[in-house]
Amino acid sequence: MHSILFADLMQTLRNLPAEAVTAIVITVLFFFTVLMLFVRRYKRCPSNRVLVIYGKFTGSPTGTRCLHGGARLVLPLVQDYAYLYLEPTQIEIPLKGALSMENIRVNVPSVFTVAIGTDMETMQNAAIRLLGLGVQEIKQQAGDIIFGQLRQVIASMGIEDINRDRDKFLHNIQTSLEPELKKIGLVLINVNITDITDESGYIEAIGRKAASQAVQQATVDVAVQEKMGHIGVAEADREQAIQVANATKLREIGTREAMREQAVKLADLEKEQKIGEQSAAFERDAQIKDAERKMRIALADANAKAIAGEATAQAEVASAQATLQVRQAEAFQMGETSKRAAEAAVQEAQHRAQTKAALAQAERIEAERRAAVEAPAKAEKAKVIVEAEAEAEKRRIEAEGQASAIFARLDAEARGQYEMLAKKGEGLKRIIDACGGSQQAFQLLMLEHLDTLATTAAQAISNIKFDKVIVWENGQNGQSSTAGFLQSLARTLPPMMQILKDVGGVELPEYIARFEDKAARAPTPNSEPASSAK
């Protein structure tokens, strides 16, 4: 179907005169150029960029419209576009000699990560102040702002607060820096403080003081714990000795009481026995028995008193032994305390000797390690030198081979181009003979290369700044040639838009048609000798 239509079109064009064919070609070329111009002006914005459209009809008081994502048609002649890149940028700030609140100079080397913001206000600021600038220029502007704000934050804080409370320091930096960066269209992503030092060594002295206090407190805690352990051991030993002495005392007292009761019981039994014997023999010898009874009663009383005195003496001996054991426990406690103190001193001396030995051993190992590392490094260096020389020789040989191959290839290509041009000349000669003349052959070739000519024409005018084109002309019959051309263009746009919609599937926005209608109806002043498109 398309081939039949193309054949009919070619037959119709052959029947037309040359002037009509030329006019048709120019008209088609013009409409195709306009179509390509609109297609090329439809811009899509990726997620890592900001599309900045500036010129007329942007809908913004500043004449600039920013888009992050999406797409938009950039009107030709009246609008242009550019991109802002959203990749983060790291800025190194080697700040040195900043004065703190105590007038101490502080060195705060840091790295700041910034990027162009994506909210509407920040994008507008970036479009106004950063559009067209390179990365180094943006880093220079941001670095100057960061330098000033960082010095201001350091001047408002004490050196101990800066060193101790890093979170507060970073918060103050963000609070002070973010509004200033936003004025030029940047946002602060991250702050990395590399180190904080001072020229007077104040921060280092604070660190040494804190370390010394920590070591002293740890030593005191260890001594207190050892003291409490020794006291606990001594108290436990004393309690054990007291309890043993009390148990021994109770055992001895019980034994003595049992022995006394046994003696008393035996005496009573013996007394009863004697009394019974005396009662049985009373009548036989009353006087003798009475004397013997009295004597035995006196003897029993003496025995009882002796036993009681012996028990009292044994109780006093047990009490003296308990007192002695308590004093021995106290002396043992004092001796153990002195012994533990001496052992602690000995252990400390041994620890110091072991530390010195470990340091000497570490130095010896480090020397051996350096020797072991340097020997392979020297061997590797020699190996790298030999390999580099071999690689250079290899590349030289390969380069010579490639040069020979390139010369042969270019020679073959030149011969082929010569044959192609010769055949092409013969073909063109046959085409001219078949068409009956050079003019008919030119028209045929123009139709065959219409798409290439349209593309070339579109590329030729794509970079023309139409706002800088000024046309001077004389009007005829009260109307300039430019106005007539615009009116003709406005009358031909609606049919062209319908053709684009039906054939190519491209539907232009309605406001373009309204804009062209206004251009077609606009009156042209007769007195002005010039018109300009801006």
- The C-alpha atoms of residue 170 and residue 192 are separated, in whole angstroms, by 9
Mean pLDDT score across all residues of the chain: 76
| Cα dihedral 191→196→199→203 (10° resolution) | 150
Please give the residue that has the higher pLDDT: either 282 or 172.
172
pLDDT at 21 over 80: no
Q: Which two tokens stand for residue 118?
A: 């994506």
Residue 256 pLDDT exceeds 60: yes
Flag whether pLDDT at 148 surpasses 80: yes
* Side chain identity, residue 91: I
What's residue 182's pLDDT?
92
Q: Return the pLDDT at 424.
A: 81
Higher pLDDT, 231 or 488: 231
Longest alpha-carbon distance in the chain:
200
pLDDT at residue number 88? 92
- Give the amino acid at 504: G
| Whole-number pLDDT of residue 186 | 93
Sketch out the chain's domains with CATH numbers: 89-200 (3.30.479.30), 206-384 (no CATH)
Mean pLDDT within 377-393: 79
Question: Mean pLDDT throughout 509-522?
Answer: 51
For residue 367, the surrounding DSSP H or E stretch is helix 286-435
CB atoms closer than 10 angstroms to residue 122: 20
26 has pLDDT over 80? yes
185-199, 221-235, 350-364, 430-444, range with greatest mean pLDDT: 185-199
CA dihedral for 240, 241, 244, 245, sign (positive or negative): negative
Average pLDDT over residues 417-441: 81
What pLDDT shows up at residue 112? 93
Position 528 confidence tier, pLDDT thresholds 50, 70, 90: very low
Rounded Cα gap, residues 432 and 426, in angstroms: 10
Among residues 46, 175, 188, 61, which one has the least CA distance to residue 117?
A: 188
Residue pair 189/116 in contact (Cβ under 8 Å)? The answer is no
User: Is the pLDDT higher at 330 or at 124?
Assistant: 124
Rg (CA), the chain: 58
The percent of residues in the chain predicted with pLDDT above 90, rounded, is 7
Q: What is the pLDDT of residues 85-139, one digit of tens each?
A: 889 999 998 888 888 888 888 888 999 999 999 888 899 899 888 888 888 999 9
Residues in the chain: 534
Instruction: Read off the DSSP letter of residue 101.
Output: T
What pLDDT is attached to residue 181?
92
pLDDT band at 265, cuts 50/70/90? confident
Q: What is the mean pLDDT of residues 51-76?
A: 82
Residue 450 or 188, more confident: 188
pLDDT digits (tens, 9 = 90+) for 293-302: 777 787 777 7
pLDDT classification of 481: cutoffs 50, 70, 90: low
Instruction: Look at residue 398 and tell me whether its pLDDT is greater than 70.
Output: yes
Higher pLDDT, 115 or 210: 115
At residue 488 the predicted structure's pLDDT band, cuts being 50, 70 and 90, is low
Q: Which of 254-263, 412-421, 517-526 shows the lowest mean pLDDT across its residues? A: 517-526
352: pLDDT strictly greater than 60: yes
Task: Read off the pLDDT of residues 431-460 as tens digits, 9 standing for 90 and up.
Answer: 888 887 777 777 677 667 667 767 776 776
Categorize the per-residue pLDDT at 188 as very low, low, confident or very high, splitting at 50, 70 and 90.
Answer: very high
Strand ranges (DSSP E) for 129-202?
Answer: 186-193, 197-198
Beta bridge partners of 66: 52
d(CA 178, CA 187) in angstroms, rounded, equals 6
**Could you give the CA distance from residue 190 to residue 173 in angstroms, rounded to a whole number?**
11
Q: How confident is the model at residue 28, as a pLDDT?
A: 79
Residues of the chain with pLDDT > 70: what percent?
70
For 23-27, what is the mean pLDDT? 79
Is the CB of residue 322 less than 8 Å from the CB of residue 249?
yes
At residue 320 the predicted structure's pLDDT band, cuts being 50, 70 and 90, is low
Check pLDDT > 70 for residue 202. Answer: no
Distance CA 103, CA 88 (A): 35
Backbone angles phi, psi at 113, to 5 degrees: -110, 120
CA gap 13, 88 in Å, rounded: 59
Lowest mean pLDDT, pick from 5-14, 328-337, 496-505: 496-505
Number of CB atoms found within 10 A of residue 176's CB: 15
